[in-house]
Amino acid sequence: MQDLLLIRHAEAEEQGPGQGDATRRLTAHGEQQAHALASAFRGFSLPPDTELWFSPKERTRQTAAALQSVLPKLPAIAQPALADGDFPMLQAEWEARGISALILVGHQPFLGDWTALLTGVHLPVSKASLIWLRQGPARMYLAAFLRVDALAILGLTAGSPRL
């Protein structure tokens, strides 16, 4: 695989009494974050065999749905291993599929841990962040790390301010 894009879900509601973690939804601000992040993908060049995998938890499902709204041809697949942090299972699956690029929508601390494992770089992965890893000659390297607010500053999101 050439490119691995790791996305942390957007801002989610706090867990209420009697509410399970898996059912937590995005807040109104989180929905805005997810759509701003998704709109940046209009300017990205992704290989035609790129896939979108997401944790089955509701907040990641909603974040992935925002991405699908601008990338409707991407196959979107719920992967329980993203919720469990089972990196070896994910890696075995993507290697078996032989895809060129993969977008994973998941959770902390897993995304940060996997970035460190693959690149040796430790990052503070805030909500609605994008970590773009690219395969180098010996190992993956950090090609980009963008928070959703940085995407707006750079003019990469719909309705973003221009400098």
Tell me 159's DSSP state.
T
Domain hosting 95: range is: 3-153
Alpha helices in 16-109 (DSSP H): 28-40, 58-70, 80-84, 87-97
Share of the chain above pLDDT 70, in %: 95
CATH number at residue 29: 3.40.50.1240
Dihedral, CA atoms, 1, 75, 115, 118, nearest 10 degrees?
Answer: -20
pLDDT of res. 12: 96
pLDDT over 90 at 19, yes or no: no
With respect to residue 107, please indicate whether it lies within any of the assigned structural domains. Answer: yes
Assess if residue 54 is contained within a domain.
yes
pLDDT tens sequence across 34-70 = 999 999 998 888 999 999 999 999 999 999 999 999 9
Q: How many CB atoms within 10 Å of residue 54?
A: 26
Question: What's residue 160's pLDDT?
Answer: 45
Does residue 73 have a pLDDT over 60? Answer: yes
101 has a pLDDT exceeding 60: yes
Residue 122: per-residue pLDDT: 95
Strand order in the sheet with 130-135: 76-78, 51-54, 101-106, 3-8, 130-135, 140-146
| Residue 56 resides in a domain | yes
Whether 125 has a pLDDT exceeding 60, the answer reads: yes
- How far apart CA 65 and CA 90 sit, in angstroms, is 20
pLDDT per residue over 111-120, tens digit each? 999 999 999 9
102 within some domain: yes
Please report whether residue 120 resides in a domain: yes
Question: In the predicted model, is pLDDT for residue 133 greater than 90?
Answer: yes
Give a yes or no: residue 144 inside a domain: yes
Q: How high is the pLDDT of residue 161?
A: 39
CA distance 59 to 23: 8
Residue 161 lies in a domain: no
